């Protein structure tokens, strides 16, 4: 009986409802403690956690071991075969020798690809999402569904013709750019940026639209009445209000681009001028599949940025995942 009374939001009973919420909280913590505990469940989850962590851990340990030890003993014997070194990292990152991986340049490439390839689709998708949400036009619904449906098209469907288009149109532009600013190599980031931007758009438009269309109509209407143009509304109201959605998509896109191999293989040309870390790594596993002292260190150089992003921005990353997976 009494529960029913406090549940009603009667004016002037703030104090009452506060006590109610405390009571509710109390019973919640009580419930939280009473969870499904069984020994088997605990053991199984421990086993899973260990299996999921050990491979990465082994690679990390190995990357700090001297070459001859990696090659002759298992990393789990590191206590019997003591020895730690930073040589592997120095070798893969800074060694000037032509035969070494020279990851420094590729690391810069990965950053140079990922940052613009995150920003470009984000801005373009925000604009499109705004148009779909707040500019009324005929066929808006159908066009929006069509853009969403483009996710059906696997990347692979676009690759061959896109490469042909790029060779016909973008190559001359790159050559021209190289002529004006000789310091920019003829093989530059332009094709990779454009490809990543295109492939990101359908999902980006969809996710950002979901968020942008939830902005209260009153806010937009009030700005319109005050005589704000669409440009002003977009920059002053929509973008600031959409920061959470933008942040989670940005993390997602950044990681996706950083981890990509396929687009890089096809559009980068594979030289130190443009190719990202992933491409270099794939190459190394092919040609130097036995040089574990190099491979382990090289792999960790490529993992470091995504792991930093993951551990520091995990919350937003998860939010983006949930938004992306529940699709609406």
> Per CB under 8 A, which of residues 22..81 are in contact with another protein?
28, 31-32, 35-38, 41-42, 44-45, 48-49, 52-56, 58-59, 62, 70-76
Contact criterion met (CB below 8 Å) for 229 and 184? no
Cβ nearer to another protein, comparing 211 with 317: 317
Distance linking the first and last C-alpha atoms of the chain: 38
* Least distance (Å) between residue 15 CB and another protein: 26
Cβ nearer to another protein, comparing 41 with 219: 41
How far apart CA 60 and CA 4 sit, in angstroms, is 58
* Least distance (Å) between residue 12 CB and another protein: 29
Q: Of residues 255, 268, 275, 316, which one binds another protein by CB under 8 A?
A: 255
Binding mask 104-133 for another protein (x = CB under 8 A): xx--xx--x--xx--xx--xxx-xx-xxx-
Contact criterion met (CB below 8 Å) for 113 and 276? yes
Question: Judged by CB under 8 A, does residue 151 bind another protein?
Answer: yes
Helix (H, G, I), strand (E, B) or coil at 137: coil
Binding mask 183-212 for another protein (x = CB under 8 A): xxx--xxx--xxx-xxx-xx--x-------
Q: Which stretch binds another protein (CB under 8 A): 11-19, 211-219, 242-250, 255-263?
A: 255-263
Chain positions 219 to 238 lying near another protein, rule: CB under 8 A, are 229-232, 234-235
How far apart CA 122 and CA 205 sit, in angstroms, is 8
Nearest to 155 by CA among 120, 203, 205: 203
Handedness of CA 258, 261, 264, 269 (dihedral sign): positive
Chain positions 282 to 301 lying near another protein, rule: CB under 8 A, are 282, 285-286, 289, 292, 295-296, 298-299
* Least distance (Å) between residue 270 CB and another protein: 11
Report the length, in residues, of the chain.
328
Cβ nearer to another protein, comparing 11 with 135: 135
Q: Which stretch binds another protein (CB under 8 A): 1-9, 11-19, 215-223, 254-262?
A: 254-262
How far apart CA 295 and CA 1 sit, in angstroms, is 68
Contact criterion met (CB below 8 Å) for 170 and 194? yes
Contact criterion met (CB below 8 Å) for 246 and 123? no
């Amino acid at each position: 009986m009494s529960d029913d009374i406090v549940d009603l939001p009667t004016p002037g009973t703030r104090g009452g409802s506060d006590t109610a919420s405390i009571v509710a909280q109390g019973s919640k913590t009580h419930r939280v403690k009473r969870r499904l505990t069984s020994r088997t469940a605990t053991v199984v989850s421990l086993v899973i956690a260990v299996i999921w962590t050990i491979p990465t851990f082994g690679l990390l340990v190995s990357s700090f071991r001297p070459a001859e030890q990696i090659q002759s003993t298992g990393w789990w014997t590191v206590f019997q075969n003591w020895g730690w070194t930073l040589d592997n990292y120095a070798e893969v990152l800074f060694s000037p020798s032509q035969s070494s991986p020279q990851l420094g340049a590729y690391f810069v490439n990965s950053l140079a690809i990922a940052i613009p390839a995150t920003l470009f689709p984000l801005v373009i998708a925000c604009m499109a999402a705004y148009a779909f949400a707040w500019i009324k036009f005929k066929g808006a619904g159908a066009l929006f569904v069509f853009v969403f449906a483009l996710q059906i098209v696997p990347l692979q469907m676009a690759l061959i013709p896109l490469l042909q288009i790029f060779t016909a149109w973008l190559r001359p532009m790159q050559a021209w750019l190289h002529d004006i600013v000789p310091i920019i190599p003829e093989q530059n980031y332009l094709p990779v940026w454009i490809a990543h931007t295109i492939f990101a758009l359908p999902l980006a438009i969809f996710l950002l639209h979901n968020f942008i269309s939830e902005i209260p109509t009153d806010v937009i209407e009030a700005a319109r009445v005050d005589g704000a143009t669409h440009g002003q509304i977009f920059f002053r109201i929509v973008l600031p209000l959409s920061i959470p959605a933008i942040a989670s998509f940005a993390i997602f896109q950044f990681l996706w681009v950083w981890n990509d191999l396929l687009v890089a293989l096809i559009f980068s040309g594979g030289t130190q001028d443009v190719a990202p870390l992933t491409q270099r790594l794939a190459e190394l596993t092919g040609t130097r599949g036995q040089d574990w002292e190099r491979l382990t260190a090289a792999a960790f150089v490529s993992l470091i940025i995504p792991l930093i992003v993951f551990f520091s921005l995990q919350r937003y990353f998860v939010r983006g995942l949930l938004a992306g997976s529940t699709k609406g």
